[in-house]
Structure 1
């Protein structure tokens, strides 16, 4: 079977959301609000907007929304502060009527609306205990406005000594500071002066922020990589063939446009220089596409399962040298990894019931080796409630099991696959989080289990704990080639691997305590999950639904009706 090389990972696009609020039963009839979105390691990054003042209403619907960047891989909190505008300003301050905050992910997974009690504190008026607010979140429409650009070249300059050229195109936009930055690129086409590239899907919001007159630049390069190198490796060494400038408005009239590729250096040197070839460019479609947020708003559940390596190589949990050692003041690395991931993703699971297992350990009552031991000890109901429930079950089971071996991944992978078989309609997407300290002992069977899972709504996240050898984990995470074993081939990449030690640092004060970057870890662990989910949905032609959103919408309607 001929091997197929996968394209380099696409640059992550920014997704924006629009957050608006309504209130009911305020103790005043003249008010305004401040809407903020907090994110970052200590929620120290903040986007904020102050609404207009609404008069003669104790149930205002504020028209001014907050437009902010949505980050699936971070826990983001929406905070609302409602102020009275009835009293005179004293010392530049307004009286706070009440505040409340909700998780952005929780609002999104509840269909984009959620009702919350306004915490008014003491002495805020007769209606203070009744006041409520409705948070409404929707995806910014500009996220979905896309163009399909068809590019082809003719008569490009020959750049290779023993061939022609290996051309590709980079599309650059001007950022808010006026600098040209990379937005998109085509694939490389080898050994040709007349390339015909695959269509490039372009978000108008990312390309120009809705300003169709904003200048964009197309640059054509000759790729100088060696066989087997990623196409985006060391692009600074690739040689420029030529470039041209245009605007989105020029592209939208439907005509095929021919642009001269101009090489500025050659243009200066050669008196009769005309071009270094031409690029034909045409918009072949303009559409609005379904997005990851459409599935989240539609109620698609992200069902996480946790699997923890409890083999003897981790050490005796009662000894401080063990990776499972539980210090009352310092969380161990397994706890750190679980906290970073589960506290974010639990917002996208309707019931927040997470099955959690240990593998490679001897378990009661007869202490045989198990590779699917429920952390809570209940084989009929292995579910734990939320991130806190998983970590509590993990701490308790350390006193009940005996570390052993071998390290087998296939049983827990197939456990999740069996669950996923019954939910291939887009209502649920399963994610297996494996935490392990090293070598896989069922390597061949593990690869087969991963390949089987690639055809189901399943993704696998592996976090390497400690200082072990993680070569096999890196082989499972195939960013260039799709996984193959025994004539079988995965249909998509579903594994993401990171090493926890890259996010741990010794304290700067010289003590033995450890500092870790929770946000950076979660970002790298979760960054590929939305694209993996979207690839599955598109392969199966599954459209976003309204799974589980009816109850939430009814509650919101009664609040503002």
Structure 2
């Protein structure tokens, strides 16, 4: 396994940690918990915060996009602590960095050493949540580690769709896209999510930027999923597409598009796909440029 390959005099490897959780406790009466994860390192008995995820609304099965960066130091024990909180609605507009964790509902915590994640076959580790006294709580947290890319390139792109399938009864779908990178073990790691466009079957989302640290290489597989947003957190999948940055570039250069597929037998979804210029496809890359992230 050459996942972490050291070099002479190289004492650490920079890693990116991704997080998800399952079967969390529901702390809200009329909706579901709004979970956020905070990760710490433990040094000399003290906790040092290294990152916070975004808040996922109304979800007991959160799949966070925000990553945490950490240096994996060989032959050194690096304890990690993961704590999950249900963020109260009145704090949803508060910047994450200034959010007072003591004012949020505690959903549980888990512990491990960084080496336990790294040495797993697929570099993913699932841990049971516990309370502050160490007693078992409902729910698990999964942590996935990947070595970060050294390239500083980025890609700008803009997606739009036409004639999406309508999943709502009294209105139109509220679509958004989620882009994930597929790891070698086929784990889908979310790297980007568009905004929700309300009541629209022909959405044009704001441009997004993906760095090579997020998509790894132009030929590594990506999963693009289109969902109909639901305020309850039960977003309905409209269709999905497996592709690469290189394939998206070819689609743009050829003025072509790509079909979404349903998860039922991997068949094309029944709605027609279109391109904005030649009216043939649905998913279309309207702009792309490489640039350095650093000026």
**TM-score, length-scaled by structure 1:** 0.25
More helix by share: 1
**TM-score, length-scaled by structure 2:** 0.46
- With a CA cutoff of 8 Å and minimum separation of 6, indicate the structure with the bigger relative contact order: 2
